Structures are given as C-alpha cells and as structure tokens.
Structure 1
C-alpha cells in the first residue's frame, strides 16, 4: 500500500478573502481558488488552504487554527489504524465531487483526503 502524502496545511481564518490577500501580497503566493469559504495558495510542494470559520465554532473548542491534511490511498484502512492509535473522528466522511474528506482529532487535528 502507498504511503500517505502531505497535501496541505489548513488555516481557519474568519475572513478567507482577507487572509488570501494577506498571503498573496505579503508572501507573493498565487491564489488558485478564493470563494467566500475556501482558498488554495500553492507553495510547492504543498498548498496553504484557508477555510472560513466563525466565532461560534471557535467557542466550541472543536476548531483548530491549523490542520495537516494528507492524501491517502484507502480512507477506511487509514481511519481504522489511526483510531486504534487513539484518534477520534471529527464528523463523518464527506463524499465530495473531488473525493472523500474526513477530519480526525488526535495528537494534532488531521484531515484525510482520498481522490475520487
């Protein structure tokens, strides 16, 4: 089985457009996508991803300021292994058009992504 590949570092700003502009102008990052709730800024070999959050999420203690996200070959076997090691699911698997997405809480907040 292939190893996991680090896909992106995820930040959770309240204002994605403002954060994307900050990184684009302050660090000369190119902004690939920037709707109201999501932005991708490539920084080879990774991407910086920005996902909108709000105060109510921050107050719940379930939102982290950063998250590591990995592309994996098999989401079910990876989740099983990580749960044996103490990880806890942070919601269910989401079946997006581009692939399967899942968050786990463990030593750090982790995101898993399986391409469609």
Structure 2
C-alpha cells in the first residue's frame, strides 16, 4: 500500500493568530487550536500549524508555498492583507486567470488563482 498523505505542516510563532488568518482569510475550518498546535481543514486538505521560536527572516527564506483557487482574488487579497499578509508583487492578469502571491503572517508564501 502506498503512503497516505496526512497534512501540510507550517511553523508559526503565534499558532492561534495563524489559525485565525487561515480561518477568516480563506474559510478553513479549525478542528483543533492550542497555543502550540492547530489543525485546519479545507476540503480534502489538512493544514497543521505548530509553534516555533524560529527567526522570522529564516522562515521567509525556507518557506512552504500553499496555492489556492479563489472565486474573487481582489476581495481575498484585501481580506488576507487586513489579517496581516503582504502582497508580493502586483496581481497579475494571465491568459488562464488572475494570480497573486502573498506572504502570510510568518512569511510563508500563498499563491492565489482566480480562473478566467
């Protein structure tokens, strides 16, 4: 039997704040949230957040990237920025739709795609 995918794990300095970021910004469902650990669900994807004291500058260099398809990229970007994300360049209008890259509150990259 092949290995089964369990979750994507991100390290964060403030787990409850990160859980709020994904829950309010991208409508993830929070199933567990403590000061040191959180589990969130979006469809079949499970995102685990774990507390870390790591230097945020190191985190920006060695970061995971999560990519999401959204219905309205402009409102999603605005919502995420209000929660502390930083837009990494302008929203781009490609032949296949709009795309944007953001850094979440602890420097992890988020890619957004709104299909054409």
For the superposition of Structure 1 and Structure 2, which TM-score range results when normalised by the shorter chain?
0.3 to 0.5
TM-score normalised by the chain length of structure 2: 0.47
